[in-house]
Structures are given as C-alpha cells and as structure tokens.
C-alpha cells in the first residue's frame, strides 16, 4: 500500500504532470514540430486525468521516473506513480485540471523541458495550484515524462480573497409604509464570486431590479463589481476598505445613454445591520446635490431553509438608473 503521505503528494504531483502536458509553449520556429508532438501528448494526458484513469496516466512516465514534491518529498518508479494516481482518484472523484504553460523548450533532439503552473480543481471546489518543471524524454519514438519537480504557488484563490466580504451573505431588508428594498447575496456555483440581487418595490409592485457580481481583480489587486439593472443600465465599481467602511467608486451608463458616477459607502453598524449611503452623484456631467442613506437589516432564514443565519450583505445602487431609492 502507498503511505498516506504518498497519497497526499499525489494531488499536487498530478497537477504538475498534467500541466506538463496540456499547453502551448514559446520556442524557436525550428522546434515547432517537437512542440506539436508534446502538445498532443499533453492533450492525451489531460483526457486520461479527467477520466480518472490511473493506469493510462502511469504509462506516460518512464519506468524510472522521479517526482520531487514542493515539501521536499521524493519518490520514483512507475508502480508507485500509478498507485498514487489511483489513490488520488479514489479520494477525489471528479478532480479536473487547468493548465498555464510558460514554456516548452527542446534541450536536445530527445529531451524537452516544460515549465508552468498547474491548477487541480478538486470535487469539493478547492483548487491546488503549483509551479512545475517537467522533463520529457523520447523513448521508442514516444515522449515520456522522466522527471517532475514542483514548487508551492502562494497564489490566494478568489474565494479566499472574498472571505473579507463574506459578511454580505444572506438577505437584507429596508422597508417603509410605501416602499421596500431587498438585497440578497450568495456564492456563485464556482465559489469565485459573490452574486447579489437587489429588488425595489413601491406599493407592492417591483419597480427596479439589479443583479451584481463581485470578484477579485488580481491585476489591480482590489475587489470589483459589475451590475445590470432591469431598465437597461449597467455599471461597475471598485471597492476599497477604510476601517469598518467599504467605499465603492461606481461608474456606468444609464439606459438613455447618459454617463453616471457616484460613491457608495457601506458601514457595518453591527453583524445584522448595515448603513448604506450614496454621495458624489454625477449624471452626464451634472452634480446631483444631497446624500441618500438607508439602513438595511439582515432577515433571519426561514425555518425550512435548514441554514443558520448567514453573515451579512449590503447594498450597492446601480449607477445605470436614476437611483430613486437607496441601495
């Protein structure tokens, strides 16, 4: 039997091996034929991995292939490699691979070096990223993996980033004698975004609805949001934190074509209560005086939901409409 540590090592190792196999590379024109061969091997490897076929994957390694894990562990030999894959697929049914290849470089006519980053998405939704270096050798006319060496990738997943805004989850309400504003927030199915929906009612009738997606921008290193309203307006926001406040710089286009911008401020007064305010409102170059404010209270889940009280969400009015009601 393979030791527990070997089984744990199998997932990141699989990431590396696979990324070694599915991608494009930058090489001199003379190497294009070799690159095409490597890409074909890569594609086949990815298919075997996604199918959970440990035996087929193992045949893509040399008999004496070596694997060097990011934590310093080292193991070799096709039998152990096959067993590692088999244990991984037994524990993580449905795992899939994404590949980001940095380079494929022939070192000799029969040796190719590939480098890049691989991401294994487990059935639980968790992702395992690794940097890798793979050496291919040509044996009997076929390219086989002779060596895999990995390093930890410290990239923080979008879901981990968004935990800072996880308090927005749930349903929030601001109601009065004639009007009602309701905001809901949930995770996207892939766990990489927060999905928010806003509904405004007057005299029991829905007069405006908005959908919003909040995510992490790894280039700008900030949270961003994109939203669309039922009147045809749309906008986007850039989020920044100022102590207990979240400041959202919003810009967008109204349905008639006028541009609009505003600053929205969310303040958590307590876990189940949020103050929303809108300032610096400009429509088509004209400043709209005054400040709009609203207090939203989180509503408890229904008894049939089976879910405990979710941490909180807060509102964000779409810029694409006239912002008649605070969000």
Give yes or no for a contact between 312 and 297, defined as CB atoms under 8 angstroms apart: no
Please tell me if the domain spanning 4-152 has the same topology as the one spanning 159-305.
Answer: no
Q: What is the structure's pLDDT at 302?
A: 54
pLDDT in tens, the chain (327 residues): 333 333 333 333 333 333 434 433 444 434 588 999 988 898 898 889 898 999 999 999 999 999 887 767 677 899 998 888 888 888 888 899 877 788 899 999 999 999 888 888 887 777 778 888 999 999 999 999 999 898 877 667 788 889 889 999 999 999 888 889 999 999 999 899 999 999 999 988 999 999 999 999 887 878 999 999 999 999 999 999 887 789 999 999 999 999 999 999 999 898 899 999 999 999 999 999 988 888 999 998 655 443 333 333 344 444 444 444 434
Q: What is the structure's pLDDT at 31?
A: 58
Alpha carbon distance 298, 169 (integer Å): 9
Alpha carbon distance 240, 250 (integer Å): 12
Q: What is the structure's pLDDT at 155?
A: 65
**DSSP β-ladder status, 205-217 and 74-76:** unpaired
CATH architecture, domain defined by 159-305: Beta Barrel (2.40)
Q: What is the structure's pLDDT at 306?
A: 39
Q: Sheet containing 61-68: give its strands across.
A: 74-76, 61-68, 142-152, 127-139, 111-121, 96-108
Closest CA to 75 of 15, 124, 135, 3: 3
Where are the domains positioned within the chain? 4-152, 159-305
CATH number for 4-152: choose from 3.10.450.50, 1.10.760.10, 3.60.15.10, 3.40.309.10. 3.10.450.50
Q: How long is the chain?
A: 327
Alpha carbon distance 156, 176 (integer Å): 42
pTM (2 d.p.)? 0.50
């Amino acid at each position: 039997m393979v030791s527990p540590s070997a089984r744990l090592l199998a997932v990141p190792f699989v990431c590396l091996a696979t990324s070694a196999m599915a991608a494009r590379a930058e090489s001199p024109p003379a190497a294009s034929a070799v690159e095409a061969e490597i890409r074909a091997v890569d594609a086949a490897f990815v298919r075997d991995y996604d199918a959970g076929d440990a035996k087929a994957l193992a045949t893509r390694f040399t008999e004496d292939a070596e694997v060097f894990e990011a934590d310093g562990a080292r193991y070799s030999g096709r039998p152990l490699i096959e067993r590692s894959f088999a244990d991984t697929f037994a524990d993580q049914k449905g795992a899939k691979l994404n590949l980001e290849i940095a380079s494929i470089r022939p070192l000799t006519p029969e040796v190719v070096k590939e480098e890049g980053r691989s991401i294994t998405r487990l059935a639980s939704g968790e992702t395992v990223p690794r940097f890798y270096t793979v050496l291919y050798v040509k044996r009997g006319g076929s390219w086989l993996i002779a060596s895999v060496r990995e390093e930890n990738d410290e990239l923080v997943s979008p879901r981990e980033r968004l935990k800072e805004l996880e308090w927005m989850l749930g349903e929030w309400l601001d109601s009065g004698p004639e009007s009602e504003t309701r905001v809901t927030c949930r995770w996207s199915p892939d766990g990489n975004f927060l999905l928010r929906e806003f509904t405004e009612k007057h005299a029991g009738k829905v007069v405006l609805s908005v959908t919003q997606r909040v995510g992490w921008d790894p280039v700008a290193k900030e949270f961003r949001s994109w939203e669309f309203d039922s009147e045809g307006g749309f906008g986007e926001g850039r989020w920044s934190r100022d102590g207990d406040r979240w400041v959202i710089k919003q810009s967008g286009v109204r349905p008639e074509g006028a541009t609009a911008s505003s600053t929205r401020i969310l303040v958590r007064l307590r876990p189940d209560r949020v103050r929303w305010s809108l300032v610096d409102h400009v429509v088509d170059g004209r400043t709209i005086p005054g400040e709009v404010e609203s207090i939203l209270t989180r509503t408890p889940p229904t008894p049939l939901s089976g879910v405990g009280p979710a941490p909180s969400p807060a509102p964000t009015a779409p810029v694409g409409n006239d912002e008649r009601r605070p969000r």
